[in-house]
Chain A
């Protein structure tokens, strides 16, 4: 049971191992705060959709299961979108088009199809949380590397008078800007994926 929760962190990490949800993972990771916002949105939608898909798994007819899942996912995404625009408009503006695109984030449909429609509600909740946290964790690593190298800053959530931006002396004046652009996202993603593969191979080798 615990495995349902922890497998998403490293062993079946949705971004680095399953290679799901790469589009938002590359798109929003130019700032750490965007990764946090996207992660929170995905965890919420994933939790909601996994619960409903699991509860309704005997009700939803096999033939129309994909449209049914999409309706459920799209509803949760629209809720996230409305709530975000109403309560955290700054985050909503910086995430832009990526919020509605959570609908087609394959992590979510993937988990509904591969896990929630075969397992109990309890396992599905754990799976959603684990996968969601794994996704957020992956986004945070990419965003951290890209923002530190590409802009020389780390932007977190603004609290009170503090604007939430930590600048790194030396780096913030002349950063390697390529990391904040799309090409940098692919570079970082490639190296991290290689690192995960290497760790996996080493582990397999040790077992032999």
Chain B
């Protein structure tokens, strides 16, 4: 009973907050509505018995949304919520894509041959998850990790305007990097 109430409340708030992302006319509000939605999803995952994944969703999404708000404000015209702006762009195209995606996913849910549960879930879902990740799925996770890391490095390399020759001179002999702001370890 109690579990059902929690499930329906979290689900309703998650969906409502998700809708509000597109109704708010301020980027900060839209970002934090999305965060609220994702926090509810984290709660739902905890309700599924996957404590670790649920709490990690809360942790990661809070941090990500806080940072995303910064980038949204930084790169958008007229930030600061001073100028009310629509969160909707290319509405027709987006509607088509979203509708198609929804149909695809719903069809997948309905049509996929879901496996039946055999045996009981272990007592410690976190341990099971860890053993799975570090055992049979080790290769997948390592590949994924390396790919993500390579993406980060590549993005930074592509985005940065100044390389080491700008910082240390053509012969790389400058004793101190020529940076607009100095770091803290005295390089």
Chains A and B belong together in one complex: no
